[in-house]
Structure 1
Amino acid sequence: MESFLEDKSSMCKGLSSLPSSCLEKAKGMRVKLSHLADTHHKLRIHDGKAPQDLETLLNNKIGLQVFRGFLRSEFSEENLEFWLACEDYRVSPSHLQKTKGGNIYSQFINPDSPQEVNLDAETREALLCVMDSLCADTFNTAQQRIFHLMAKDSFPRFLRSIQRTDVIKAI
């Protein structure tokens, strides 16, 4: 303990001999590090973990916005848009499901759709067969497949990107 106090005392004496410009830079760094710690705390969720998985990111408003921007920059935003459309569809009143389901099919599922998502033929055919009898969980399987595709493909790239840093800076 005495050794630690001696080291700390000599460190403080050493700091006083530094030019004031260095001390100002050090103070600035301390403020930035403090802000980073606050940001990390704000990103924490109820179970005490920072968002390191796709589901947590999608449930974070700012994280979702930044992830969308990342996907847009890679021209692969359709998977996220499909996933969000399915989330909206699932909670929609039953009288709106036919319209919303048709929109989802024509925008994301149909092979000629403008934002066609990458689904296997079996899932695509199963959806085509049930389009006349829609229910709240019609798109669940397709949505899960796209979620897993994002989790394996685009989300790891996002974690390595500069945009991930933007999530931390934005909060």
Structure 2
Amino acid sequence: MCKGLAALPHSCLERAKEIKTKLGALLQKPDAAVDLIVPDNEKPEKPAKARKPSPEEALQWRDSLDKLLQNNYGLASFKSFLKSEFSEENLEFWMACEDFKKARSPDEVAEKAKKIYEEFIQTEAPKEVNIDHFTKDVTVKNLVEPSLSSFDVAQKRVHALMEKDSLPRFVRSELYQELIK
């Protein structure tokens, strides 16, 4: 209870209302809500200026996750949508795997592999992706001697999950519906 906290600038009720407002804003307009909840020094970088797609281009994303992921505007929109649902870990994992494939030295491969494993694969990872035990076991075995293909099986599985689950939800979203108008 808030008894004895009267000297604080906000009462508990005021604080609760403030939190509710911020969460509501986040769920309605995730990009605009970043200003409400993330301090300036922790805000994510804005994606490179991407040209807004024509409705025809955006319509192609319904049937092709790959076309969506290859389009900077589509990728940013999809990421924003997933963040609004608190389910961006699969996309972040997929993107980390794409970046991983650009590693050039064995040391860089090992360093990035360890980071991806700790962030997305290991049990209780901060952004643990939902992959089956077989895929997880194959990935862990591949990491004994990391190579640029170490995450291929897991990345394909996560891609399939996004295609089957996240993409249809995105296509039904207001965000996507505005793009195809």
Same-fold call, TM cutoff 0.5: yes
Higher helix share: 1
Instruction: For 2:54 and 2:131, locate their aligned partners in 1 and report how far apart those are by CA, in whole Å.
Output: 37
Per-residue deviation, 1:124: 0.9
Counterpart CA distance in 2 for 1:167 and 1:94 is: 41
**2:140: which partner in 1?**
128
Cross-structure match for 1:82? 93
Indicate the structure whose relative CO is greater, using CA pairs within 8 Å and at least 6 residues apart. Answer: 1
AA partner of residue 51 (structure 1) = W
Among 61, 67, 79, which residue is 2:72 paired with? 61
User: Deviation digits for residues 9-38 of structure 1, max 9, x if unmatched?
Assistant: xxxxxxxxxxxxxxxxxxxxxxxxxxxxx8
Distance in 2 (CA, whole Å) between partners of 1:149 and 1:54 is 11
Q: Percent identity?
A: 41
Normalising to structure 1: TM-score of the pair?
Answer: 0.69
- Residues 1-80 of structure 1 mapped to structure 2, 5 A cutoff: 39-40=54-55, 43=57, 50-52=60-62, 53-80=64-91
Contact 1:94–1:135 (8 Å) recurs in 2: no
Alignment-derived partner of residue 106 in structure 1: 118
In 2, Cα distance between equivalents of 1:134 and 1:98: 6
For residues 110 and 166 of structure 1, what CA distance do their matches in structure 2 show? 38
The CA deviation at 1:131 is 1.5
Query: Does 2:149 match 1:148?
Result: no
User: Which structure 1 segments of 5+ residues have no match?
Assistant: 1-37
In the other structure, the counterpart of 1:4 is none
Picking from 81, 105, 108, the partner of 1:94 is 105
Tell me which residue corresponds to 2:175.
Answer: 163
> How many Å apart are 1:132 and its aligned residue?
2.5
Inter-partner Cα distance in structure 1 for 2:83 and 2:160: 19
> Which digits, 9 at most, give the CA deviation of each residue in 1:108-156, with x for residues without a partner?
0001100000011111112222222011111011000000000000100
Structure 2 length-normalised TM = 0.65
- Alpha-carbon contact 1:40-1:168 (below 8 Å) kept: yes
Aligned-pair Cα RMSD in Å: 1.9
Contact 1:63-1:167 within 8 A present in 2 as well: no
8 Å contact kept, 1:107–1:114: yes
Runs of 4+ in 1 over 2 A off after TM superposition: 38-41, 49-52, 165-169
5+ residue gaps, structure 2, are 1-52
Aligned length: 127
Contact persistence 1:82–1:108 (CA under 8 A): yes
Give SS of 1:75's match: coil
